[in-house]
Amino acid sequence: MASNSASISPNKRFLIFFDFDETIVDETSDDMVVEAAPGQHLPGWLKDTYRPGRYNEYMQRVLAYLAEQGVTESDLRSIMEKIPASPGMLTLFQFLRTRPAHDFEVVLVSDANTFFVEAWLRRAGVRQLFHRIFTNPATFNKNGRLVLRPFHSHECQRCPDNMCKQVVVRDYVARRTQERSRPYQRIFYVGDGANDFCPALSLGPRDVAFPRRDFPMHRLITETHEAMPGEFKAVTVPWVSGEDVIMRLRKLVAE
């Protein structure tokens, strides 16, 4: 699923997490696969099976339906590869790539799946930038159907049943801090959705949350500051383009 963290240089100064849908890419990959369905829409009976908090199970049914309609691995890959990057995101990746080797450890945390994420990253030529990828496992079975599984189970009431990104972020930071024998200077989180708010809650006052401006993550941070001052500890820097993230990172790496 991703490279072993033990092989990552222990000298990285900063750790930066990225969401995928509507953060790295400017669409939701799960929504885009509907383009492969007959008439580019799903039947009502299938859409009616969705239950709040159980989106992963719903997508398992969607992918099974698409396979029954003759949609192939090649069809799905083609759709993923055509999704546009969010504004300035490829410029941000280029910035991270050209920094000194000891600057950034880059991790992706997504509620999409391994096939969608890997297909897009490889097509964009940025797969090697990511030291680790945490997402729902998805593999093609012998019948050519993309079989999706939940990433894990957890106790968080805020997040969908199959993934709490805060659990992922906390576990990863704790494990890497132990492996490195020291903490990171700062941790950054770039996201957009409600499920990106939860991991950003675990950031400290020296860390930076980059919510996409006016998206759910940004609104939840704003509401939390108003309702419970001090609950959300990280510095908040909203972004419209990846260039906004670069501007803040440039200042911080120079400190």
Would you name the residues annotated as active-site residues?
Answer: 19, 21
Angle at 59 between CA 56 and CA 63, to 5 degrees: 140
Amino acid identity of residue 54, one-letter, is: R
d(C-alpha 22, C-alpha 30), whole Å: 11
The DSSP result for 81-110, as a single string, is HTSPBPTTHHHHHHHHHHS-TTTEEEEEEE
d(C-alpha 69, C-alpha 74), whole Å: 14
d(C-alpha 55, C-alpha 190), whole Å: 22
